[in-house]
Amino acid sequence: MTQKALRLGTRRSKLAMAQSGQVAEAVRELTGREVELVEITTYGDTSREHLAQIGGTGVFVSALRDALVSGEIDFAVHSLKDLPTAQPDELTLAAVPPREDPRDVLVARDGLTFAELPSGARIGTGSPRRMAQINAHARSHGLDLTTVPIRGNIDTRIGFVRKGELDAVVLAAAGLSRVGRSDDATDFLPVDTMLPAPGQGALAVECAASSAELAATLAELDDPYTRAAVTAERSLLAALEAGCSAPVGALADLLSDRQVVKEMRLRGVVGSTDGSALVQLSTTGPVPESPSRAEALGRELAAEMLAKGAAGLMGERAH
């Protein structure tokens, strides 16, 4: 007897459809079962408010999670950076596949790099995190740059540059890659200049906790190094009591010696959106052998950042 197709819940944007399609193909190969995409509209897709105004936390995932709980879909794919740090008991994060490039990129007019942007350049971004770091970098280097809040999908954002409304926009490298538009990037921003959002570049594959067999199957897509890294980053975010839209950047990477992975380094940043104040710290520890160790690394760095005044930089909504 032919098994029923698995129903994969996804947002309707081109990027969400692309990344869900990639996971669907991997699940087909794994199970031999058909996977159908079920398009679901989230609050974050329909609201025209800026992310900082609507709070960010969960606005792109709550409708998908509701569909999982009600049994409308079998599993869902999220951009991990959109996922609230608290995991509901009735759902399980079955897999975190290997991460794409976590960096941010610049898409600028005339092929300009970040260093080549002229005085008075207008840079579009919907992210308080990016605003904080761009403005801090501009202040420290005596640059006259203006950040402009924008919303919209990848095509819309790049369109602002193509139409001459903005000099540049900042986007996630992974998003451009997944929709086949990496060639539009004019500069890859080093993480020393721009720490990405916690979990950026990674996907989350979620299903109902009661679907033990499906969860075990999906777990074969999991990459333990990526999971350890994003667990540390998200633990930092949680310990700062900040939501997805707070001006917080974090990146955990693995340090190797002669190709043997020895340690994990976690870097974090919190800044005021005008760039006038920035708390940026890092810590290094053994490669976490359990989620609890990765979480501890995040909490330790958060405590140091809070001691340096991070809480005061996140705004009322964040903490």
246: which 2 tokens? 């707070």
- Active-site option among 74, 82, 104, 167: 82
Q: Is 223 a catalytic residue?
A: no
- 44 with 60: CB under 8 angstroms? yes
71 Cβ contact list (under 8 Å, min separation 6): 208
Catalytic residue list? 82
